[in-house]
A and B are shown apart, each in its own frame.
Chain A
Amino acid sequence: MNDTLLWTLLGHLVCIAQWAAFILVDYAYLGKNKKVRYPCIWAAVLAACVLFVSIRWDLGFFNTASIATNVVYLLLASLLFGGTPNQKLTGSLINGVMCLLTENTVSFLFAWFLGVPTGSVWRYKSCLAALVVSILAVGLLVAYFMRRWNSTCALEPLQAAVMSFFPGVVVALNMGLMVSANRQKPTLMNMVLTVGLTVAVLVHIAIVQMFNDQVVQRQSSRFRAQLEQQRAEALLDSYTAQRRLTHEFTNHMSALSALLNQGDMEGARAYIAGVSKAVAAGTTIMDTHNPLLDSILSKKYEEAAHKGVTVYFDLCDLKRLPFDSTDMVIVISNLMDNAIRAAAEALPPEVHVRIRKTPDEYLISVCNRVQQNLEIEDGRLPATTKKESGHGMGLVNVQEILRKYGAEYTVSCRDCWFRFTCSLPVAHSTDNS
């Protein structure tokens, strides 16, 4: 194999590694596109086309033409994945920053160690091999963090924009360094600056991650506090109703003894039947043999009625529903709140709650009217149903709890009906109870 061919192969290997890293990051950050079935495969096909163009017209490496080709590839590839246009642009920027920082750090380190100009390090096979390995490793790492970031991002758009300012400055400085020191041997200062800037970006990312974790923690605490308040209110309502009934109890006893003293057995029986109904209706509106669930559902029923939403219940004996009390409040309250909120804006405003037990599973179904059909991806719950800031913990928590109990769930939206259905294994309940 002659040197020119080897150089071409190695050079293109770097390109292939870069494109693979771009695809990884795009897939992790943007996810699937509804219109493109296999985005990764199509992105690889696009990469193959770019590779063909590069070889056919000998575009070369590490020059303006190859950078332009990469930028075009980045933008086109992002179109194959999901996300909004803003997210696609952000994904392309992340890839650009990742590529630039990795290349500069590797080239400056090599140039400094070998004592050659930075522009000529690409003639060393070891440098190209190191670049291939580093770009793939960095791509994997960034993809992992982007995936994690996607599931727990709690920053508001303005906060995220401010946070991305620093990497932007670093990119500008890096480009300055790359252009100014291209034909010279890098000084110690240049090398330290490049590596320092890369480290600074990594530290910055870690700080942003910690800040994000704090925001998530704060939102979670606030959500738990709201939940506890709901539980307390539900119990207080029951307690107040109970006190009222206890207060009435002496009056009922007097009336009953008067009827019995008169020998009016039929009257006494009728009176007891009437009181029994009043007692039942006075505490909660339903009895599923699960007092906490009854309190929550009764409370949600009242809230819904207040908003003009009709809730239909079709339940069964739920004494052994396998959720512990906190998890039950989180799941049921969130599902009911979301359903009632959406139904309140739709016509007719209706929510149907159905829980059934089969020998293997509990089936929970919450259906509500929506104003217009929502786009649902792969039958999964969206991370949030609200666009305002400071919300969105609810459905994330529901998903976590369902995962904890080994439950399977699906959501769909057709004909202006949003349907959440979940299957909760019964076996788990036996262990828990």
Chain B
Amino acid sequence: MHVLICDDDAAFGARMADYIHDYFEARSVQLQTVVCTGAAEALRTPYLELYQLAFLDVDMPGTNGIALGRELKQRSPDIRLVYVSAYLEFAPEGYTVNAYRYLLKRDIARMLPKCLDDLLAAFTDQHRTLTVHHNRATSEIPLYQIYYLESALRQIDIYGDIPHRPICTFYGKLAELPAMLYENGFLQVSRSDVVNMSHVHSIRNYKVELKNGVELGVSRQSYAAIRNAWLEWKGQFADE
């Protein structure tokens, strides 16, 4: 794993690097850590696109941590950003970096171990796929590519970003879909449709509108429960 640490307080950055190194080493995770004291230095780091995790100070001379985070996200979209600062500043444009967590420097000893535990679990969980068996072949479809699944007779069609054109079809029933789907933001909205909440634009008037413009009917009986589930999901994951 590649980890970037950027803090204008070099001693603090070095202490962080030591702690993180010990943590991952104890869990047999190979680690390469780079410590920088400014954004410019961080952006000069070779193979930046390989980095999966960055601990950034928000308030640094020159380019601040939020701008650096945005730049890092552009170079490596899957990078997870943890802001470590003396002061939690939530800038107007702060949401654009979609930080994994904000930690206070003064409480770092208390908060870092748990943060690293959660990060490790998150890295293990990411890139989840749905395994589909069809015509004696098995394919793995990344969950983020799936907009919704629709059941018709004994078949299930998996739809992606192109409206009404299934990316895959297989034999099965919605009731037989793995529980993992529902634990990862999928929601059954009617007898025949399961949607990926990260691609839902709105749920109103008994209809789900997906971000690609597709509209699906919502069960009237479970409408309130479906809206509640979506509201809860938005509260935890939705961004601007």
Residues on A lying within 8 angstroms of B by beta carbon are 269, 273, 276-277, 280-281, 285-289, 305, 310, 312-319, 348, 350, 354, 356-359, 363-365, 367, 378-379, 408-410, 412, 419, 421-423
Contacts and interface: CB of A to CB of B under 8 A. Distances in A.
Interface residues of B, number: 32
B231 A410 contact: yes
Nearest to A316: B95
A282 B79 CA distance: 32
B61 A314 contact: no
Contacts of A348: 114
Contacts of A356: 95, 235, 238-240
Contact of A379 (B88, B111, B228, B236): B228
Interface of B: 8, 59, 61, 86-92, 94-95, 99, 101-102, 104, 107, 110-111, 114, 224-225, 227-228, 231-232, 234-236, 238-240
Nearest to A408: B231
Contact of A354 (B8, B107, B110, B235): B235
Contacts of B102: 312-314
Given A310-B110, A363-B235, A412-B232, A286 B90 contact: yes
15 contacts: A276-B59, A285-B88, A286-B87, A286-B89, A310-B107, A312-B111, A315-B88, A356-B240, A358-B238, A358-B239, A363-B234, A365-B232, A419-B232, A423-B231, A423-B235
A331 B104 CA distance: 25
Contacts of B101: 312, 314
Contacts of B236: 354, 365, 367, 419, 421
Nearest to A421: B235
Contacts of A276: 59
Given A356-B238, A365-B236, A408-B231, A313 B88 contact: yes
A328 to B, nearest CB: 16
A314 B89 contact: no
Minimum-distance CB pairs A-B, first 5: A365-B235, A421-B235, A286-B88, A410-B228, A317-B92
A269 B227 CA distance: 53
Contact of A288 (B90, B110, B224): B90
B88 A287 contact: yes
Contacts of B92: 289, 316-317, 319
